[in-house]
Structure 1
Amino acid sequence: MNSSTTQSNKTPLIEVVDLVRDFAAGDGTIRVLHGINLTLYQGEMVAIIGQSGSGKSTLMNILGCLDKASSGQYRIFNQSVDELDGEALAKLRREHFGFIFQRYHLLADINAEDNVIVPAIYAGMDGNARRDRAKKLLSSLGLGQKLHNRPNQLSGGQQQRVSIARALMNGGEVILADEPTGALDSQSGIEVMKILHELKQAGHTIIMVTHDPSLASQAERVIELKDGYIVDDYYTANARLTNTPPVNATKFASKGRLFGLFDRLKEAFKMSLFAMMAHKMRTLLTMLGIIIGIASVVSIVGLGQDSKQKILSEINQLGTNTITVINGYPFGDPRRRYGQNSLTVQDAEAVAAQPYAKSVSPQVDSSVTTRFKNIETTANINGVGDEYLNVTGEKLAMGQGFDKSSILKMTQDVILDNNAYKTFFAGKGDPIGQIILIGNVPAQVVGVLNSKDTSFGRQTNTPQLYMPYTTVMYRMLGSSYIDRFVVLIDDNTPSEVAETAISNLIQSRHGTDDFNIMNTDSFRQAVESTTNSMTLLISSIAIISLIVGGIGVMNIMLVSVTERTSEIGVRMAVGARQSDIMQQFLIEAVLVCILGGILGVLLSLVIGVLVNRFGGEDFGMIVSPLSIVAAFICSTLIGIVFGYLPARNAARLSPVEALGR
């Protein structure tokens, strides 16, 4: 039948003028389509026929906006396609086209209903509406009982019907069918063609590519290609002289951009989980670097925190916010001489009179042989002031401390530390009131200190005895000088200010700097700074494993993109934007890293339990909530940074190239 007979009653749908398509081939190009001129009309059923290599699939891909022409003009719905960007082309595919592929191209990880729903997700259709429509379409195609079957649970004919339902999901004004019966048996092929005829009767425009003349003869119009040229274009006896009303493309109401974005993100999240579950071992190996890195960082920070806490605790036992003034020139000063004495009780009293000094305790030390009954040992004798317990913050386990009267009267009273108590009284009985012989001086026990474990100062396994400093100076040593005095600084005075004031005061009294000053707050700051620096240094080393893990994630995601190019092509064909594809793979990379971060934190907690259980008193681990939060932030950032390149590569794939792989 002559084409002019039917064209008069038809509405132009697609107009192609001088369309050319070249493909790169080495240093040159190969021209697949040569100056195609073609007009297609709404409601037609067109068969594009030709042998393999004739250019028919290339022409269909350009008509369906899966590919772009090298030159020429292409208009659809009176809109020029040539200058449209990727997002605009995706919108055209999403709103006007439906694709039926020879190999079905269903997503293997989801069921039939979810496969059909995919185009509606990208179009922003309401959740309930799209599920109802999918069920209705599948039921009308005889698959009402197969909604929850995955593609591998369906026959070839059933899979093709799912593909048809997917093509119709967003309306499918124009159905593009590439060898729709090529992979089917004869009966299934007949059923699929029957469905295409019914769609044509319902007002859909059908553009079918085939190499089978018998199949082409069922169409209204046949366009024959050979070597990239149109060699024939004619209407068959099936052509109708009347114009079939076009199908109404508006099948749904959009949920809005925000809800549409949420739906697309939810779809990407679900597909990411499916992809991870489908390759469990690969996912676990990908996460391994992240797990080790996160566990290392959290564990190292935990070990550092525990060490710092122990050190600071021991510093606190030396005195909280205290300054110790020590007799003699500083260590390393050439003026320092052994046995030099310059520090006096009057120096301590002068400092005690200052407003920044809450308490002051002079101190003088000695080491003598001490006996109680038949027990004899060497003990450290510490002459201290009546404010010693206030200065150091130590507590009495039993008995009482010294008062001003004890200092003035040089009483022969003694307070035992826990080691001395255990040494002389075996940790049993009440020592208060007992007499022990310190050198040649008998002393009455008036108190026992709580246990004090510290790595600083005197050795903790040597018995420590505390007596009034006047008793030690005048009754035992015959000296008028003290070894040191300890000052408890007022809370409102900065430690550095008090240290400077004390130094200036003592120097003005002595006329020289023949003394040392030890500031526990400066010591604390130095220890904190050192431990923080060491933790940061070691953590930086551990972070290298995180970076290596991130590179592993990137490599595996690049492999995943290569393996799933067909899926990417299908999603683009049904209307996915480049941003949708990018979100898909970026979410997957972030999920892998977050899950790796969770497992890494759990591993660090297990390590912490083992270390705290078997590490002894000197080796422990504190896992802080801050380090856990930091680990999650770090793993998420790794997923974003190292997942970006694979996600971008996936989003930049050409739909036709992806489908062809």
Structure 2
Amino acid sequence: MGEVLLNIVDVSRSFIAGEQELTVLKNINLQICRGELIAIIGASGSGKSTLMNILGCLDKPSAGSYFINGQDTSRMDDNELAALRREYFGFIFQRYHLLGDLTAQGNVEVPALYANEGAQTRHEKAKKLLTRLGLSDRLDHKPSQLSGGQQQRVSVARALINGGDIILADEPTGALDSSSGEEMMKLIQELNRDGHTIILVTHDPHIAEFADRVIELKDGEIIADKQKRIPVKANQLSTDQQASKTSKKINWSRYLEALKMALIAMSNHRLRTFLTMLGIIIGIASVVSVVALGAGSQQSILDNIASMGTNTIEIKPGTGRGDRRSERVRSLTADDANALKILPYVDSVTPTVRTNVAIRYASETVTGSIQGVGTEYFRVRGYALAKGQYFADDSIDTLEQVAVIDANTDQTLFPDGNALGSVIFLGRLPVRIIGVTKPIQSVSDNSDELNVWLPYTTVSGRIFRQNYVNDITVRIDANVSSDAAEQGIISLLTMRHGTVDFFTINTDTIRKSIEKTSETMTLLISAIAFISLLVGGIGVMNIMLVSVTERTREIGIRMAVGARQTDIMRQFLIEAVLVCFCGGALGIGLAYFIGMIFTYTGSSFQMIYSSTSIVAAFACSTLIGIVFGYLPARNAAKLNPVDALSRD
């Protein structure tokens, strides 16, 4: 007897079948020496496949002990058993068990991949083995493009890629014709002479004739163990065959290979992948679009309210609203307005003198608001000309009797549209109309009121005979904090007056209220979009769970050739993350496409995309892949190899 390689001591294996326990193996004792070529034979149901699964660490015994090179497998965890399958065993299955998505060379390289073999080394070894087995012209063919004999040769090459001290062949000729079967058995004998320990499982006595030792099973027990001939002394395995056993170095290329396999799986199942992505695409597109719509809506609203004069600060005499003394405080002057113009954050300033008088034109008399204002008043309040012109600085200096009227006054007094050049009477003061403004929704003016604007010097000098103004309105630059600007204005006027005999009204609070309302609505709609994203994530999890079920056999093959649980989990988790990441990218693209539709339809509305929301969308889609991909990946990693292999 040579060196004992495998040692089975009192091994039994039972399965639960309904309410009964079915014992398949009963107190098996068996020693297998290095270099033997053994055939395990028996009728169907005798337990030979179960014994082979235990020998190959695909299954565990219910009782007894199993030693490999003196190591007790019962004390090993799943990853250590995977290492044994990867480093000591090579499997030749009756149904080949090749991965349909990979080429012949790709299938052969899988065990070396899990053994952390470098890509170049894997490629060279796989080509060398396939060439040796007569498949040099079939390297890039997928299993569906190969004959049965060629597929079986690919599985032999896969069994040898990591060295394969022990080769387990389950009915290696069962799916082959007689000619291919003979060739396969000659190849197995050749491998035995090269130093591999071969264990055949067959029900065919003719195949058993090729073995040096025949073990017969019946009803789960060994009934015969015949040494037919003394094995020929086997050659030692070459250095390159054993190299994989010493390769324990962590190789980051495993992550790249897992990514590559994920891409292959996604490419070969495009419809399933797209349906998986669909929920993420819709969810991400919804989130990005809603944020962009919200930002665009907010900007549009702010632009509109800015044109209404909401980024303004009004300065009034007195100590505050309701101050009865305010009418007697006459400290605000046009010089104060001119002094405020020098502040860097001031956009425009206007003093205002106002009163209500009768407005007469021809036989028509109405009551309206007469306001003496500066030349910058119309910019401060956001008015635009419909026709005519505004009065200029020389009109202020000369107390010129010219006026600009609003659309209400124009429609009331001049229904024929001939306002320009006409003379109206403000009380007893005749003025000539030089301009008409467009309608505007103002936050401070009554939209139904009739308004006539004159130079403030004209009102002060020709109507009131006063040297003070009723109030001053300052428009603040849009990029400056209105609160800070307000404090600067207060400081300047306090310094000029020597006391605080005025108060300010900051109309920017309206802007802030609108911004807050807009943000609240965006948050609300984003929450709805997030729910759709969550639903998309659940869809990813469901599809991935289905994918695990569909690919159970693939998982079993990968485990049989040495994949660790972490390898399986990594692959499925990367697939889930990749699906969500790609779905996120497509979702962002869809959101931009929606924005293009708005642009090309000529809509004045603009979607403003936020880089923060885009980054958050990518992060969210990746996180969904991790969170919702974890459960399917864990389920895949925890599958029993022998159960997974038995699935169709």
String of CA shifts for 1:340-383, please: whole Å, max 9, x gaps. 9848652467986899996753325578999999xx99997643
**Aligned residue for 1:383?**
372
Distance 2:425 2:392 in 1: 21
Q: Which residue number in structure 2 is paired with residue 102 of structure 1?
A: 94
Aligned to 2:218: 226
What is the SS of the residue equivalent to 1:67?
coil
Given that 2:261 and 2:571 are in contact with CA atoms closer than 8 Å, whether structure 1 keeps it comes out as: yes
Counterparts of 1:369 and 1:173, CA distance in 2: 112
Contact 2:195 2:234 in 1 (8 A): no
Q: In structure 2, what is the Cα distance between the partners aligned to 1:322 and 1:343? A: 25
Alpha-carbon distance in 1 for matches of 2:484, 2:360 = 45
CA distance in 1 between counterparts of 2:41 and 2:93 reads 16
**Corresponding residue for residue 75 of structure 1:** 67
Q: Give the Cα separation in 1 of the matches to 2:164 and 2:125.
A: 13
**Residues 520 and 174 (structure 1), Cα distance of their counterparts in 2 relative to 1, 3 Å cut:** farther
In structure 1, which of residues 188, 194, 197 is the aligned counterpart of residue 180 of structure 2? 188
**TM-score, with length taken from structure 2:** 0.84
Preserved contact between residue 319 and residue 500 of structure 2 (Cα < 8 Å): no
Amino acid aligned to 1:50 = G
* 1:495–1:521 contact (8 Å) kept in structure 2: no
Counterpart-to-counterpart distance in 2, 1:254 and 1:503: 85
- 1:468 positional shift: 2.2
For residues 424-439 of structure 1, the aligned pairs below 5 Å read 435-439=421-425
Secondary structure of 1:87's counterpart equals helix
User: Which residues in structure 2 correspond to 1:525-604 (within 5 Å)?
Assistant: 525-604=512-591
TM-aligned CA distance change 1:81 to 1:484, over 3 Å:
same
* Unpaired stretches in structure 2, ≥5 consecutive residues: none
CA distance in 2, matches of 1:525, 1:213: 90
Shift of 1:595: 2.3
User: In the alignment, which residue of structure 1 is the partner of 2:124?
Assistant: 132
Does 1:657 find its partner at 2:648? Answer: no
Shift in CA distance, 177/371, structure 1 to aligned 2, threshold 3 Å? farther
CA contact (8 A) 2:115 2:247 kept: no
- Report the equivalent of 2:259: 269
**What amino acid does structure 2 have at the position aligned with 1:605?**
Y
CA distance in 2: counterparts of 1:230 and 1:601, whole angstroms? 65
2:7 corresponds to 1:21: no
Partner letter of residue 649 of structure 1?
A: N
Measured at CA, do residues 204 and 256 of structure 1 come closer, stay the same or move farther in structure 2, by a change above 3 Å? closer
Amino acid at match of 2:231: R
User: Aligned with 1:13: secondary structure?
Assistant: strand
Aligned amino acid, residue 274 of structure 1: I
What's the counterpart of residue 300 of structure 2?
A: 310
- Distance, in Å, in 1 between the alignment partners of 2:519 and 2:185 is 74
CA contact (8 A) 1:314 1:456 kept: no
In the TM superposition, 1:253-332 aligns within 5 A as: 257=249, 260-262=251-253, 264-318=254-308, 322-325=312-315
Does the alignment pair 1:162 with 2:151? Answer: no
1:56 aligned residue (48, 57, 64): 48
Contact 2:41–2:204 (8 Å) recurs in 1 = yes
* Amino acid paired to 2:638: R
Amino acid at match of 2:593: V
Which position in structure 1 is the counterpart of 2:29?
Answer: 37
Superposed CA offset, 1:464-523 (max 9, x none): 7643234345646899996653245796972575699899999x978xx9x8x5424433
Matched-pair contact (CA < 8 Å) for 1:345–1:362: no
Residue identity matched to 1:652: K
Q: Give distance in 1, aligned partners of 2:358 and 2:179.
A: 111
Q: 1:113 is matched with which residue?
A: 105
Aligned counterparts of 1:614 and 1:40: Cα–Cα separation in 2: 79
Q: Which moved more, 1:271-280 or 1:241-250?
A: 241-250
Pairing partner for 2:613 from 627, 635, 640: 627
**SS of aligned partner of 1:145:** helix
Cα distance, 1:29 vs structure 2: 3.0
Preserved CA contact (<8 Å) 2:310 2:443: no
Of the candidates 165, 171, 175, which is equivalent to residue 163 of structure 2? 171
Query: Which of 627, 630, 636 is 1:644 aligned to?
Result: 630
User: CA–CA distance in 1 between the matches of 2:367 and 2:185?
Assistant: 107
Q: Specify the SS of the correspondent of 1:161.
A: helix
- In structure 2, relative to structure 1, the CA distance for the partners of 1:480 and 1:589 (3 Å cut) is same
Deviations 1:98-151 (A, max 9, x none): 111110000111111111111111112121221111111111111111111111
1:51-110 residue CA offsets vs partner (Å, 9 max, x unmatched): 222221111111111112223221112222111111111111111111111100001111
Change in 2 beyond 3 A, CA 1:255/1:29: closer
Letter in 2 for 1:411: E
Structure 1 range deviating more: 477-486 or 651-660: 477-486
Q: 1:496 to 1:384 in 2, by over 3 A?
A: closer
Selected match of 1:346 from 323, 331, 353: 331
> What is the CA–CA distance in structure 2 between the aligned matches of 1:58 and 1:534, rounded to whole Å?
64
* Mapped partners of 1:581, 1:540: distance in 2: 35
Please report the TM-score for the alignment, with normalisation by the length of structure 1: 0.82
Distance 2:34 2:375 in 1: 106
The one-letter code of the counterpart of 2:278 is: L
1:367-382 to 2 correspondences below 5 Å: 382=371
* Distance across 2 between alignment mates of 1:45 and 1:608: 71
Counterpart pick for 2:350 among 341, 349, 361? 361
Deviation of 1:400 (Å): 8.0
Three-state SS of the structure 1 residue aligned to 2:128 is: helix
Deviates more, 1:639-648 or 1:392-401: 392-401
Using the TM superposition, give the Cα deviation of residue 589 of structure 1 relative to its aligned residue in structure 2, in angstroms: 1.4
Counterpart in the other structure of 1:4: none
- In structure 1, stretches of 5+ residues that fail to align are 1-6, 426-430
**Whole-angstrom CA distance in 2 between matches of 1:482 and 1:32:** 107
Distance 1:378 1:219 in 2: 120
Tell me by how many angstroms 1:607 deviates.
Answer: 1.7
Q: Which range moved further: 526-535 or 308-317?
A: 308-317
Q: Is the 8 A contact 2:159 2:167 kept in 1?
A: yes
Are residues 1:411 and 2:381 paired?
no
Q: 1:114 to 1:452 in 2, by over 3 A?
A: farther
Question: In structure 1, what is the Cα distance between the partners aligned to 2:609 and 2:448?
Answer: 31
**1:415 Cα deviation after fit:** 6.1
Distance 1:70 1:145, change over 3 A: same
**Structure 1 counterpart of 2:596, from 606, 609, 612:** 609
- With over 3 angstroms needed to count, the CA separation of the structure-2 counterparts of 1:173 and 1:368, relative to structure 1, is farther
Q: What whole-Å deviation, never above 9, does each CA across 1:17-52 have from its counterpart, x for those lacking one?
A: 122222233345322222221111111111111122
Cα shift readout 1:156-196 (whole Å, capped 9, x = no counterpart) = 11100000001111111111111111111111111111110
Contact 1:368 1:381 in 2 (8 A): yes
Amino acid at match of 2:24: V
Counterpart of 1:625, as a letter, is: S
Secondary structure in 2 matching 1:271: helix
Query: C-alpha separation between the residues in 2 aligned to 1:233 and 1:455?
Result: 104
> What is the CA–CA distance in structure 2 between the aligned matches of 1:256 and 1:494, rounded to whole Å?
65
Identity of aligned residues (%): 51
Instruction: Judge conservation of contact 1:368–1:439 (CA < 8 Å) in 2.
Output: no
Question: Residue 192 and residue 369 in structure 1: after superposition, are their counterparts in 2 closer, same or farther (change >3 A)?
Answer: farther
RMSD (Å) for aligned C-alpha atoms = 4.4
